[in-house]
Amino acid sequence: MTEDNVKDALREVRLALLEADVNFKVVKDFIENVRLKAVGTEVLTSLSPGQQIVRIVHDELVAIMGGGEDNSLDLAAKPPVAIMMVGLQGAGKTTTCGKLGNLLKKQKRRPLLVPADVYRPAAIEQLKTVGRQLGLEVFNSTADQKPVDICNSALRFAELNGYDVVIMDTAGRHQIDDFLMDELAEIKNTVQPREILFVADAMTGQEAVNVAGGFNDRLDISGVVLTKLDGDAKGGAALSIKAVIGKPVKFVGLGEKLDALEVFHADRLVSRILGMGDVLTLVEKAQAVFDEKETALLQSKMKKNQFDLEDFLAQMQQIKKMGSMESIMGMIPGMGKMMKQMKGAQPSENEIKRIEAIIRSMTPGERANHSIINGSRRLRISKGSGTSVQEVNQLLKRFTEAQKMIKQLQKLGPKGLMKGLGGLGKGMMPFG
């Protein structure tokens, strides 16, 4: 790949990342990395340079996000194991306490929820209500207590009463609030939590790195929970946080209801973060359409020499499906050209309908073996489908050509088959 096709593609990627709130320094480093990786790589036969860069970008981001790494909750300690939620005001800490407790309860644990936010009005009442809704025990604290005392006595209470996990809710605070950060550090020293989860709002902008960095510097957090991903925020903040402070995202919040907590999947977030991630998903979808379903089927059919008119019809419909994605795919660097090729190949709604009518007017035997379709059969089919004999003839001719072409492509293996499908479509157009 050359500097040029890499540059164009990366400009798009850069913008996509910035618009997804990925920190600008992170974006800068990342783009440079991908540039180095991409320039000079051999262009794979199966992918256009643009596609290939998108692929590299995707894979690199997944790697940064810790795809494949262990991001499970660490409860491997002598019970009761303490978990502490920390973060900015309104990030979703209290809700996440409830969600996590609910999750652990389902895993046959006995969690105790601990309200240690003595500052926000009705914060304790909020966690108590959440606990009631979930049927979880909530430690009895009051707003005139010291948070560190609450956490400490909750831990002892858990020990005495057989709770094996203690989930502590703390008040929201800014990382520059020394008084309140000292308070968290004191709680940490006193209860020695196994997990300190930094709760981050998916809508956070460029400041996410500084905030998470501030919490991590004081508390050495163990993981991140990304909340409110059920909206349309891209959640680039999580990428920045992971890239800069290196702590894994463990969970994502996907709603206000108390079961809306999921284990984090790096690849899903990456697809979301890439503004083109939406597109990427579509590319992958398109590939899947051809790859998995069609290619595998076609291949096995071709091996057995079974590609028949039924498959032909299905193929035509797949190409039409691709067509509807044309405009989007055209926006991926390098994909535009491929889509232009496809454009001529796209059957119109009407054409598809007629092809369908013709093929549906055939008997199963005819569909499986077109060579038996003689003159009188052709007449019958054209009448049955409301088309002309000429159209039936044309279709059969195109089909024979397509069969030949598929045989050739098949020799190239699955990648060649995919690549050739655009051209195949063209060859298959009966009413060009």
Partner 1 sequence: MEQKETKGFFRGLLNKLTGVEAADERLTPVETTSETLTPEQPAPSPPPAATSATVEKPSFFERLKSGLRKTKDGLVGRIDALVLGKKEIDADTLEELEEILITSDIGVKTTVELIRTLEQKMGRNELKDGEALRAALKEEILSRLIAQHRPLDINSRKLFVMLVIGVNGVGKTTTIGKLASRFTADGKKVLLAAADTFRAAAAEQLEAWGHRSGVDVIRHKEGADPSAVVFDACKAAVARNVDILIVDTAGRLHTKVNLMEEMKKIRRVISREIPEAPHETLLVVDAATGQNALSQARLFKEAAGVTGLALTKLDGTAKGGIVVAVSHEFALPVRYIGVGESIDDLRDFDPQEFTDALFQA
Ligand X SMILES: Nc1nc2c(ncn2[C@@H]2O[C@H](COP(=O)(O)OP(=O)(O)O)[C@@H](O)[C@H]2O)c(=O)[nH]1
Residue tagged 């510097």 (tokens): 217
- Do residues 190 and 57 make contact, with C-beta atoms less than 8 angstroms apart? no
Beta carbon nearer to partner 1, 70 or 144: 144
Task: Report the alpha-carbon distance of residue 126 to residue 132 in Å, rounded.
Answer: 10
Task: Report the alpha-carbon distance of residue 254 to residue 228 in Å, rounded.
Answer: 6
Kindly indicate which of the ranges 20-28, 92-100, 191-199, 314-322 contains the residues binding Mg ion, using the contact rule CB under 5 A. 92-100
129 makes contact, choosing from Mg ion, partner 1, ligand GTP, none, with CB < 5 to 8 Å by partner type, with partner 1
357 makes contact, choosing from Mg ion, partner 1, ligand GTP, none, with CB < 5 to 8 Å by partner type, with none
Instruction: In angstroms, give the least distance from the CB of 231 to partner 1.
Output: 4
Q: In the range 187-216, which residues lie near ligand GTP by CB under 6 A?
A: 199
Instruction: In angstroms, give the least distance from the CB of 405 to ligand GTP.
Output: 50
Kindly indicate which of the ranges 93-101, 281-289, 292-300, 335-343 contains the residues binding Mg ion, using the contact rule CB under 5 A. 93-101
Q: In the range 86-145, which residues lie near ligand X by CB under 6 A?
A: 89-90, 120
Beta carbons within 10 angstroms of residue 41's beta carbon: 13
Task: Report the alpha-carbon distance of residue 43 to residue 415 in Å, rounded.
Answer: 13
Inter-CA distances, 59 with 244, 248, 269, 302, Å: 18, 17, 12, 33
Kindly indicate which of the ranges 49-57, 239-247, 254-262, 411-419 contains the residues binding ligand GTP, using the contact rule CB under 6 A. 254-262
Instruction: In angstroms, give the least distance from the CB of 413 to ligand X.
Output: 56
Inter-CA distances, 48 with 1, 10, 52, Å: 10, 14, 6
Kindly indicate which of the ranges 115-123, 325-333, 389-397, 423-431 contains the residues binding ligand GTP, using the contact rule CB under 6 A. 115-123
Q: Is 95 in the site for ligand GTP (CB under 6 A)?
A: yes
Cβ partners under 8 Å of residue 395, min gap 6: 355, 358, 359, 430
Query: Which member of 23, 48, 71, 94 binds Mg ion (CB under 5 A)?
Result: 94
Beta carbon nearer to partner 1, 210 or 306: 210
How far, in whole angstroms, is CA 420 from its chain's centroid?
A: 28
Query: Which member of 230, 262, 284, 356 binds ligand GTP (CB under 6 A)?
Result: 230
Instruction: In angstroms, give the least distance from the CB of 178 to partner 1.
Output: 8
The residue of the chain with the least Cβ separation from ligand GTP equals 172
Instruction: In angstroms, give the least distance from the CB of 123 to ligand X.
Output: 8
* Per-residue three-class SS string for 225-289: EEECCCCCCCCHHHHHHHHHHCCCEEEEECCCCCCCEEECCHHHHHHHHCCCHHHHHHHHHHHHH
Q: In the range 224-283, which residues lie near ligand X by CB under 6 A?
A: none
Beta carbon nearer to partner 1, 69 or 217: 217
Task: Report the alpha-carbon distance of residue 185 to residue 148 in Å, rounded.
Answer: 10
Q: In the range 48-67, which residues lie near ligand GTP by CB under 6 A?
A: none
Beta carbon nearer to ligand X, 231 or 386: 231
230 makes contact, choosing from Mg ion, ligand X, ligand GTP, none, with CB < 5 to 8 Å by partner type, with ligand GTP
Task: Report the alpha-carbon distance of residue 362 to residue 284 in Å, rounded.
Answer: 34
Bridge-based pairing state of the strands 249-253 and 261-263: antiparallel
Beta carbon nearer to ligand X, 89 or 133: 89
Instruction: In angstroms, give the least distance from the CB of 399 to partner 1.
Output: 31
Tokens of 328: 């989007």
13 makes contact, choosing from partner 1, Mg ion, ligand X, none, with CB < 5 to 8 Å by partner type, with none
Beta carbon nearer to Mg ion, 21 or 169: 169
Inter-CA distances, 355 with 42, 317, 343, 365, 392, Å: 40, 10, 18, 17, 9
Instruction: In angstroms, give the least distance from the CB of 90 to ligand GTP.
Output: 4
- Answer left, alpha or beta for residue 133, where phi above 0 means left and psi between -120 and 50 means alpha: alpha
SS3 138: strand
Beta carbon nearer to ligand GTP, 93 or 234: 93
Task: Report the alpha-carbon distance of residue 400 to residue 240 in Å, rounded.
Answer: 54
Instruction: In angstroms, give the least distance from the CB of 164 to partner 1.
Output: 24
Query: Which member of 2, 41, 72, 89 binds ligand GTP (CB under 6 A)?
Result: 89
Q: In the range 15-44, which residues lie near ligand X by CB under 6 A?
A: none
Give the end-to-end CA distance of the chain in Å, rounded to a whole number: 35
Sign of CA dihedral 256, 87, 74, 248: positive
Binding site for Mg ion (CB under 5 A): 93-94
Binding site for ligand X (CB under 6 A): 89-90, 120, 172, 174
Binding site for ligand GTP (CB under 6 A): 87, 89-95, 117, 120, 123, 171-172, 199, 227-228, 230, 253-256, 260
